[in-house]
Amino acid sequence: MWKRICFTWALAVFLPGSTAHLLATPAGTRVAGQVTYTGPVSKPKAFDLSKEPVCAKLHAGDPLYPETLLVGADNGLRNVVVYVSQGAPPSGPAPANSVLFDQVDCHYATHVLVFRVGQEVKIANGDPLSHNIHPLARINREWNKIQPPGTPPFSYSYQAPEIIPVKCNIHPWMHGYFVVLNTSFYAITGEDGHFELPELPPGQYTLTAWHELLGTQTREITVGSGGESQTVNFTFSNKP
């Protein structure tokens, strides 16, 4: 069972299993690992939805909790983005397929959404009420747009890498992230904290692991020509 852990937001602020964006590359070395959490566990507090009766009714028997920190079995840490931040092979043009950021049951269906620079993100509203999507970009252009119920999805793409907090201007409990990368060599941890990157050719690389609350860690790795798998683990903590 998941333990949902609530901490104070430091910023105004994206699956079962681990998900990696796979790129067709020549055979290389598998780099995978585990991201775990150590630290105190706080009792979660459900969001107060009383100011939005539709949302309160939707969650009368299924409260909404913060997704700031989700820890699973064996202390696996969810929603950690692991990517090659230096030394990555060329990734080619942005994928032609879009990624979906959906608003369902008064929350973001994907809390931490990872995609490429130039890739289209399609933003949908599956709720019977309006939302106002507001990505708080600093490097890219900041914008916000109201999305009434029943309207078709709209699309947007970003031109520079950036980690962008996303909020709804109407419903203050709705928070998420766009993680916009200039590489296809990335993964995001699932319920077990596991990640696996697309295979890497020989070379020296910097791996970065990012979590919205617990910060960023890096590891330097060297991939040889033997093709042997490598394990790279990260441990995050939030000690008082």
**pLDDT tens readout for residues 93-143:** 999 999 999 999 999 999 999 999 999 999 999 999 999 999 999 999 999
**Residue 197, domain CATH:** 2.60.40.420
pLDDT of 180 strictly over 80: yes
Residue predicted with more confidence, 181 or 16: 181
- Mean pLDDT of the chain, nearest integer: 89
3-state secondary structure 157-211: CCCCCEEEEEEECCCCCCEEEEEEECCCCEEECCCCCEEECCCECCEEEEEEEEE
Select from 163, 158, 129, 165 the least CA-distant residue to 146: 129
Collect all residues with Cβ–Cβ distance below 8 Å to 35 and sequence separation of at least 6. 76, 77, 80, 82, 189, 193, 194, 195, 209, 211, 233, 234, 235, 236
Tokens representing residue 116 in the block:
């490429």
User: How many structural domains comprise the chain?
Assistant: 1
**Average of pLDDT values for 162-182?**
98
Residue predicted with more confidence, 209 or 227: 209
Q: What pTM value is reported for the model?
A: 0.87
**Domain ranges, residue 27:** 3-237
Whole-Å CA distances, 25 to 22, 28, 92, 117: 9, 8, 11, 19
Task: Say what the pLDDT of residue 43 is.
Answer: 81
**Average of pLDDT values for 4-15?**
37
Task: Say what the pLDDT of residue 80 is.
Answer: 98
CB 188 within 8 A of CB 16: no
Q: What is the pLDDT of residues 148-161, one digit of tens each?
A: 999 999 999 999 99
**Average of pLDDT values for 31-51?**
92
Task: Say what the pLDDT of residue 44 is.
Answer: 83
pLDDT of 239 strictly over 70: no
- The pLDDT confidence band at residue 27, using thresholds 50, 70 and 90, is low
Residue predicted with more confidence, 99 or 28: 99
Task: Say what the pLDDT of residue 10 is.
Answer: 34
Task: Say what the pLDDT of residue 88 is.
Answer: 94
